[in-house]
Amino acid sequence: MFSWGENCQHGFRLKHGSNISAGDGVHLLNLGFDITDLSAGHTVLAFIKNNADAAIICTKESQDGGRVRGKQKSVTCKEKIQAVGCSDDDVVTLLSNEGKVLCMDTTRTYIPKPLEALCNISVSQIACGSQHSVALTKGGQVYTWGRDSRGQLGLGRSEPCADSPQHIRSLSALPLVQVAAGGEQSFALSVSGAVFGWGGNDCGQLGLGDTTDRPTPTLVHYLNTKKTIYISCGKEHTAILTKNGAVFTFGSGQYGQLGHNSFGDELRPRLVAELWGAKVTKIACGRHHTLVLTDSKRVYSFGCGAQGQLGHGEESDPSVPLPVQLTQDTTNGPKIGNIYAGGDCSFATSTSVKEAHEVLSTATVSNVTHDVIDKWVTECNSKSWKKIKREIRRMFSSASCMNQIFLDQSKDKHFQTSSKYSGLNLSLARHAFKKLAKKGHVMAEVEAAVLHLLPSLEKKPVGVEGLRIHLLLNELLHVFQRPNLQRTSTALAEAVAAAMQRLCAGSLQVLGDWWSSLPPSTKVQHVKVWKRTLSVILSLKPVPRNSGVRNLLLVLQYMYNANDRIAGRQRIPEQTFCLEISQTFLQEDLQIWRSNNEDMDNQQLVLCNFPFVMDLKSKKMAFDIHAECSQRKAQCSLDLFCGLDGCFHLDLKRASVLEDTFEKLAAVDPDDYKLPLAIYFDENFTNEDDQYLYRKDFFHEVFHEMMSAESGMFMFNDSKTLAWFPSKAIEEDQRYFQFGVLCGLALYNQYIIHLPFPLALFKKLLGVKPSLGDMIEFSPCIGESLLNILEVCEDDVIKNLYMDFVINWDGTEVDLDPKNPEKPLTGENMKEFVDAYVTHAFNTSVEGVFQEFKRGFFQVCDQDLVKLFRPKELQEVLLGKDFHDWAKLKQNTGYEGVYNTTPPHPTIQMFWEVFDELTEDQKKAFLWFVTGFERVPILGMETIKMTVKVNGVGELSYDKYYPQTHTCFSILELPLYSTKEIMQSKLTEALSNNRRIYK
């Protein structure tokens, strides 16, 4: 062993002549045994021999005020020791091969005693600071004890010390591989290289960018993705080693111990540039100095050298790494295997060339192998089952363990773990879980272990690695739901959902981002996991409506929100989230949802609070059920003894249908809007069948007239295909309120209308902000020009456009920034300009009249029910959709009377020949002619059916008659025309004149 620094050769039991000076104050000590671990505090040095025995050397004050080492003493201990740690208060902590922690106060005894608090806990590592200690258990848990003056115990409380080990619960979910302790600071290292520090930070020794102490573990963000594999602490400085062999240091630089060619403090981790090009394999920090070992087995040191601890032969404080002069025969001599730095001393241990090998990093990945899983499912006999059960419980009841298995170790990808990347190999997990599913009792044991674990999961894990378990559990649940397992229990899924519900918003955001990055097929699979669980629950009689079921929907909600942020092909279809919902359940759900019972438990399941799981059919069904209830309620409030028939009457003249409508709407009590609508044209009273026809005609005619340029109510885009509110309209114009009422009446009474408005209208109704995409839809010319501005990144190019914040909208010049008239457009404010343009067009310029429209719309329709729809869905429900499937119409057509023949009647053959020759516009006119729809209801494909029959005309010639229709039943009365030409003439004339026979 090489030794240099304070009393470097004293205290060891050396034979005569075994202390060889290697120059520059470095001594080669022939101990007669190898050292496997060593630690040096202020008053004591302890080491472990290769036979697992421990020895200590105490340091005492000499008569001249100096410090000298006493004689080596053997530690009296039956345990075989693997690691040792020395603090500055005479306490030595030992770790046995079996994982027991033993302590002794060297001022009193050399017989260590086990720590009672850790007697039943197996420990893998120990680390000692000046007056505190840290232990890492084999289960990945961290315990601390000792002085807590600066928060170095990480417990977040103000007690000055802890006599017995205390569990740091905030780190319990993290897959930790190392702990370290310095003067008054502590660290923990995760399997994927995340570094967490706590305690004293007056010199920046925590690397957090400031000098504020931390009483609880805090992530060192500056080391994220640096692939940290080892941490070493000095009194007030810290060094970390990366897998690539780079060294970063931070904290006090007073003695040059940071190696940055300066004596200043570093508040953030900084690369030791002087070591660039040399791959470092080991680091060790003394009180005020630092050692590094390279892969070429050379040792470098920097920092305080007052006691010769740098091995440079002079008492100086070099601030850059300089080589320690160790006398070695690089060919046949011993090779340096490890380095140790004590308070003011340094050591290097060597091994023979034959035994020398690359020392593995402390941060090795503990991964579940397929061999372990295979053993569980194949060796399930009574003899081995008890041991297997213990292994399963140890793995699946530990969040720390769960979060470090199934890592993506290809090209060290797990070291890239961040808030955007989980570091997991989910396909590996999926394969392993499928193996587990082969044995029911193995899966039952896994389930029991996970159920035991879930309640203990942290609401806000300190690092993102603590969240990996939630992605893994999605895969586990998927396996649990495989058809061959025939499971109906939802207990595990509900427990997983409850654990997710307890997570803080930031953790849920990370999970959402991780989930968003998965392949679409995996995302669909995860969604189905929760849908299957909900389907089982919704099939129960009665359906439970507790908070546990509600949590399942909240998990789907998180996934839906995450998916909503995804663009392009990585986004899965929204209908993936939809559940099958029965009308009976929906009626019950609506009743609960719409009840005004303030005492109702807001944690219970109400499906209408989660409209994303409702498909359009369910939403429309819910809206219509509620509308029917509202109509009955409105009818019950009427005084039926006054001769009223319980309807909202509109008596109109066809010649002035729009003016009459506005006049009637202005004169009635708004409460009447909730009644069933009854339309009478020209004082003609009708039966219910004809009422259906009249209502269709009413909405058709009033909206076509209102949306025409002649009404003067709206502005139109350049192609005259889309309308918008005019900026010159005033709120006092009651027509916009009545326009909203009419739209509401159409939705409330289940009729589609002619409403050529952009999607922006429906976005605004639902509180969604219009975007540039809406401008592109309404005015492609303006929209594309705005898009081009955003895509021009160079400021010089934009300045050459000579544009300012003045635009022309609806024939009026508008300054988009009145506080800065004629502000020029630049590269810096181009997004502001585009946003201001869109905002003015869709919001500012029409705010008054739009609010009147909105007030009218929601005077009829319940706002909460309307908000079940997405903007596009609301548009499609109100407007229907274009119909082009004329082959489908032909296929759905039925025939009565003489036309009901096989093969088809000659007149029918002739009719379809005529129909096929019609233009697309004529075919659309025919659709309205027969069904009363220009467009078809979004859910009404089944209504696009036509029945053709002959209308009796007595002895008169059929050729004199036009085709007649009964739109209530989509019946076409087609005369037996004598020629194709006559049929074509009569049909096209009927279509052009909108000739229909009302009955």
Task: Give catalytic residues, as residue numbers.
Answer: 968
> In 270-283, which positions are buried (b, 16+ CB within 10 angstroms) versus exposed (e)?
bebebbeebebbbb
Residue 752 to residue 875: CA distance in whole angstroms? 10
Which residue, among 786, 783, 792, 820, has the nearest Cα to 805 in the 3D structure?
Answer: 820
Residue 290 to residue 238: CA distance in whole angstroms? 9
Residue 765 to residue 732: CA distance in whole angstroms? 20
- Which residues have C-beta within 8 Å of that of residue 930, sequence separation ≥ 6? 946, 965, 967, 970, 971, 972
What is the token pair recorded at 818? 């009145």
Contact indicator for 322, 312 with CB cutoff of 8 Å: yes
Contact indicator for 464, 219 with CB cutoff of 8 Å: no
DSSP letter at 852? H
- Which residues have C-beta within 8 Å of that of residue 776, sequence separation ≥ 6? 783, 784, 787
Contact indicator for 929, 966 with CB cutoff of 8 Å: no
Please report the sign of the dihedral spanned by the C-alpha atoms of residue 908, residue 909, residue 914, residue 920: positive
Contact indicator for 985, 995 with CB cutoff of 8 Å: no
Question: What angle do helix axes 547-564 and 520-538 make, rounded to 10 degrees?
Answer: 160
Which residue, among 204, 187, 198, 197, has the nearest Cα to 251 in the 3D structure?
Answer: 204
CA distances in angstroms from 958 to 468, 907, 929, 986, listed in the order given: 78, 12, 20, 11
Three-state secondary structure call for residue 427: helix
Which residue, among 579, 581, 610, 580, has the nearest Cα to 593 in the 3D structure?
Answer: 610
Residue 516 to residue 566: CA distance in whole angstroms? 7
Residue 413 to residue 227: CA distance in whole angstroms? 10
Which residue, among 831, 760, 835, 821, has the nearest Cα to 789 in the 3D structure?
Answer: 831
Three-state secondary structure call for residue 563: helix
Burial classification of residue 669, based on how many CB atoms lie within 10 Å of its CB (0-12 exposed, 13-18 middle, 19 or more buried)? exposed
Secondary element (H or E) of residue 966: strand 964-966
Please report the sign of the dihedral spanned by the C-alpha atoms of residue 646, residue 647, residue 649, residue 654: negative
**CB atoms inside a 10 Å sphere around CB 536:** 15
- Which residues have C-beta within 8 Å of that of residue 680, sequence separation ≥ 6? 649, 650, 651, 652, 686, 694
Residue 251 to residue 208: CA distance in whole angstroms? 10
CA end-to-end span of the chain: 112
Residue 177 to residue 189: CA distance in whole angstroms? 6
Contact indicator for 770, 838 with CB cutoff of 8 Å: yes
Contact indicator for 426, 406 with CB cutoff of 8 Å: yes
What is the token pair recorded at 227? 């692939």
Q: What are phi and psi of 271, to 5 degrees?
A: -65, 135
CA 473 to chain centre: 15
Residues in a beta bridge with 136: 125, 142
Residues in a beta bridge with 339: 348
- Which residues have C-beta within 8 Å of that of residue 661, sequence separation ≥ 6? 650, 652, 702, 738, 742
